Structure 1
Amino acid sequence: MEENRQSTSTLVASENEVSQTIVLRILRKENYHPYKFQFVQELNEDDPDRRLQFCETMMNLCQTNPNLHQQILFSDEATFCLNGTVNRQNCRIFSERNERRAGLERALDAMILV
C-alpha cells in the first residue's frame, strides 16, 4: 500500500492470493484506514464574479416571482465521465492519516448526465 495508496484491497488480496478480509485486517492492524478521495471542481479567476452575478439574478427573479422555488426541479442525478471515470464512490486512499487530498475536475470534460 505504501507504493500505491490508490490500490484496492481487492487487488492486493488477489495479487497475494489471500482473502480481502485478511488484507483489511492487516491494514487496520498497521493503522491504515481508507480515506475517500474527494473530487472538487476546478475554479477559475472569474468564478467568484459569475457566482455573485448568478445570486443577484436569482434574488431578482425571486422578488418578481415569489413562487419561483416551486418551479425549479431538483433531480437525483448521476454524472458519468466519458474519460473512463464512472464510480467515484469506490475511490479510496489507504493511509495512516487523512492527507486531505483532492482531485481537480474540469467542468467541461465530456460527460453523460442520467
Structure 2
Amino acid sequence: MTGPTRRERLKPLELVAMAGVLAVFTGGIALAATRELDLAAVFAGVAFIAALLVLAMLALAAGDGAASTLDGPVLDRYDGPPAPPVAPPIEPSTPPATQEPVAEAPPEGPRSAQDPDDR
C-alpha cells in the first residue's frame, strides 16, 4: 500500500493559497476604494474565510474518482431489497359497550303564574 501522492498532500495548501489570493485582491480593492487600512483588512479577512469555506465545500463535493462505492454518499448506496412492510398490531376485540337508556325530560306544559322564572 502506498502513501498519498505529492499532489494529494499539497491539495490543502492549494486551497489556502487560492483563498489567500482572493483575500489580497479583495483587500486591495477595498483599500483603493476607501483609503482606510482597517476596513481593507476586515474585508480581506472576511473574503479569506468565505473563500476558504466555499473552496473546502467544493473540494468535499467533488471528491476523488478513486473512492470505493462504500465511501460515497449514503443516499446513492444500494443495500439490497427493502424490508417487507410491518403489519399493524391486532387489537383484541372487545364487546361493544352497553348504553343505558337515557330518561327523557317531561314535556313542558303551560307555566303557572307562580313560576319563579316568569319575573
Q: For the superposition of Structure 1 and Structure 2, which TM-score range results when normalised by the shorter chain?
A: under 0.3
Larger radius of gyration: 2
Which structure's residues are more often helix, by fraction?
2
Relative to its length, the structure with more strand (as a share) is 1
**How does the TM-score come out when normalised to structure 2?**
0.21
TM-score, reference length from structure 1? 0.22
